[in-house]
Structure 1
Amino acid sequence: MTMGELTRVKVDFATSHLIFPILIGGILLMLGLAILVTQRRDILSSGAMWRQTFAEMDKLRFFGTLALTVAYFSLMVPIGDFWPNTGIGFLLCSIPFVALTGVLFMHDRSPGKLVPVFIVAVVGPVLIWWLFTEIFYLTLP
């Protein structure tokens, strides 16, 4: 390998969108293992802790978040396939995902409180999409 080859970047557009999910998945796996190692006694000790945890948990928000996340990742690629290598799938899925997740976790859903959530739901994904597309030249699904 010559020094000139170190400054060349080849992007495989078929797999470039997998960089961040793999990176984030690896980080989450390491954090999960760290929790498992440090809290193993509490996790494995008794069913009472788990019964209490499940009895006191906010089931609507927990299962709602799971459903929204599965829908988000399941729809991103099929929607993005209509406009390949543009990141439109990310953009069109992220806006409702951020909006619905924000609304799901709100306690007071008055119109005045919803406006900032919807502004963030539009501005955040558009800014990320622009940053990755125009500045980093990375494709999103």
Structure 2
Amino acid sequence: MGDLTHVTVDFSRSHLIFPEVIGTILVILAVAILIRDRRRAMGSGRYWREIFARMDKLRFFGTLLLTVVYFSAMEPVGYRFPNLGLGFLFCSIPYLFAVGFLYLHHRTFRAALPVAAMALVAPTLVWWLFGSVFLLTLP
């Protein structure tokens, strides 16, 4: 019975747990969406042309690009400061600011102040919470 409450995690792989869980959840949700909309998606190309014509291309492709850069930069930055989670912190702050600024309707200095504040506070709080309270390693 004691084995049920005992968990061992390999420290060298502990930072890979959450990305695997999140990736699995995203795949399940994507399959659920495809199953729900299979008739429209499998139909004529008109459906996809309408979707592409109505979408905000700057925000869509900007978000994709920023996310790829964010995940690509996190590991090299983290190697400069090993076992501190600073790769997460130093990459999350500019990423959150850039994505938040990208989604602003009116891009003014005054509108960017709350975005900048959240870009500083949220990753710092998550970095402290995961590293100090939960003792989880971040990249």
What TM-score, normalized to structure 1? 0.93
Give the aligned partner of residue 134 of structure 1: 132
Q: Does 1:44 align with 2:38?
A: no
Deviations 1:45-104 (A, max 9, x none): 110011111111111111100100000000001100111111100000000000000000
Q: Does 1:28 align with 2:50?
A: no
Q: Residue 65 of structure 1 contacts residue 101 of structure 1 at CA under 8 Å; is this kept in 2?
A: yes
User: Which amino acid in the other structure matches residue 101 of structure 2?
Assistant: V
Q: Which runs of 5+ in 1 are unaligned?
A: none
Same amino acid, percent of matched pairs:
55
Give the aligned partner of residue 57 of structure 1: 55
Q: Distance in 2 between matches of 1:51 and 1:14?
A: 46
Give the aligned partner of residue 122 of structure 2: 124
User: Which amino acid in the other structure matches residue 32 of structure 2?
Assistant: A
> Cα distance, 1:13 vs. partner?
2.4
From 104, 111, 114, give the equivalent of 1:113: 111
Q: Distance in 2 between matches of 1:63 and 1:37?
A: 25
Give the aligned partner of residue 17 of structure 2: 19
Larger RCO (CA within 8 A; separation ≥ 6): 1
From 47, 68, 71, give the equivalent of 1:70: 68
Q: Distance in 1 between matches of 2:94 and 2:11?
A: 26
Q: Distance in 1 between matches of 2:23 and 2:128?
A: 23
> Cα distance, 1:7 vs. partner?
4.9
Give the aligned partner of residue 88 of structure 2: 90
Q: Distance in 1 between matches of 2:8 and 2:82?
A: 18
Q: Distance in 1 between matches of 2:120 and 2:109?
A: 17
The number of residues matched between the two structures is 139
CA RMSD of aligned residues (A): 1.3
Q: Which runs of 5+ in 2 are unaligned?
A: none
What TM-score, normalized to structure 2? 0.95
- SS in structure 2 at match of 1:108: coil
> Cα distance, 1:106 vs. partner?
0.6
